Amino acid sequence: MPRALLSHLLALGLGLVAGYLLWGGEAPLPAAITLQPDGSDLSRACAQGVVLDGDLRLEKAALADLADARCLEEIRGDLVVRYSSALEQIALPSLRRVGGAVLIEANPALSALRLPKLEAAGSLVVGSNPSLVSVELGALLSVAGPLRFAGDTGLPSLALPGLERVGGDLVIKDSTALTGLELPALSFVGGSLDIYPNAALLRLDLPALVQAEGHLGVEGNASIEAVNLPVLTRLGAGLYVDANPKLGSVSAPLLARLGGYLDLQDNAILPTLQLPALDTVLGDVELRGNGGLATVSLPALRVIEGPLWFEQNPALVRLDLPRLERIGEQLDLDANAALRELTLPALTQVGRGLRLRDSAGLERVSLPALSRVGDVLELVRAPLLRELDVPEAVRATARLEGVPGI
């Protein structure tokens, strides 16, 4: 055999062996596919198997569906479908895992998203698909990063029955037709959880949520009537519930610690706030402009590291804070016309000023353990106040204005 031919065959044989060893004895997986506008090359997604070792991207395409990619069980990169005006349906019935992002965005005719076997994704973002009315994600267990539905204005309901964990933020936003949101298994959110503003949403029930590393916000939901968090124990940042005009109840009986603020503002008919296990708030406590709020009960609360504001809650008649020992900044009570009595029996320190203003009905202030007020004790325009029970050293620093009974 000629020496040149022998060398060629030897090189070819070594190459085949090396390729076999490199790919573990299997053919290499297909790499990323970025589709042409007419989608004519979508069939390549399934040409070499059920695993795509890269991205599947469809942008500005004329396809009506993704039928030619139905075989896929795993996409190791991203699944991106956006700006495709003719697309009516995304159905990938075999897809179980997406290693990167799932991004379904700005597809004006898209009515259905069906990923019935998808169990895990790096992130999941569905947004600005105004015709979307059906989402099937029944097998989804976890999302490593953020999960977001935003601006899908026709979507009537969203059910993620198996979802247990979201590693980043979870956002449901600007879904104006959404009346039902089901997250029955969700126990952990690695970022913040925001529900705002969804005009038709009636309830927020998170029966399994134990912890979120960020804040939990419920804001500007015009129809929401109840927020139910029965096993939530900790929020790494704050809890804010703002501008929900039909909200009648907030329940978080096991919530013990807030790493940020407690903010309750402009909830017109909410009658009561009861957080029986809350012990520590590392930020502000602000209750402002809640027209129907009559009772605030925080019986376990010991420490507020920031300021405490109760302002413009005209129906407020009862503040129950029997164990509150320290307020890191100021305490302000302003324009709570129905409040007759302020009693904080355990309060010893207020880091800055203590100011009570425009308390038309206030008759009694009792702060018997107060030993330190960082700035000033100020009572202004409390015409019915007759009893001021504070230690003499603190009383000597008080500034009174429009308090004829003291």
Question: In the predicted model, what is the mean pLDDT of residues 218-223?
Answer: 98
- Residue 39 has a pLDDT of 56
pLDDT above 80 (res 3): no
- Residue 45 has a pLDDT of 74
| For the chain, percent of residues with pLDDT exceeding 70 | 90
Q: 108: closest CA among 60, 149, 66, 68?
A: 60
- Say what the pTM is: 0.89
Instruction: Name the CATH code of domain 27-186 (choices 3.10.530, 3.80.20, 3.40.50, 3.40.1000).
Output: 3.80.20
Using pLDDT thresholds of 50, 70 and 90, give the confidence band for residue 36.
Answer: low
- Residue 48 has a pLDDT of 66
Rounded to 5°, angle at Cα 89 from 87 and 91:
130
Neighbours of 354 (CB within 10 A): 26
pLDDT above 90 (res 280): yes
Question: In the predicted model, what is the mean pLDDT of residues 66-90?
Answer: 95
| Type of residue numbered 137 | L
Q: Which residue ranges make up each domain of the chain? A: 27-186, 342-406
Q: What is the enclosing helix (H) or strand (E) of 393?
A: helix 392-395
Report the alpha-carbon distance of residue 69 to residue 73 in Å, rounded.
10
Q: Which pair of structure tokens corresponds to residue 26?
A: 């299997």
Question: In the predicted model, what is the mean pLDDT of residues 251-256?
Answer: 98
- Residue 156 has a pLDDT of 98
- Residue 282 has a pLDDT of 98
Q: What's the mean per-residue pLDDT of the chain? A: 91
Q: What is the enclosing helix (H) or strand (E) of 326?
A: strand 326-327
For strand 51-52 and strand 272-274, is the pairing parallel, antiparallel, or unpaired? unpaired
Q: Which pair of structure tokens corresponds to residue 51?
A: 């695993």
Beta bridge partners of 82: 59, 105
Decide: 272 and 299 in contact? Cβ < 8 Å.
Answer: no
- Residue 114 has a pLDDT of 98
Decide: 66 and 43 in contact? Cβ < 8 Å.
Answer: no
pLDDT above 70 (res 94): yes
- The residue among 36 and 163 whose pLDDT is bigger is 163
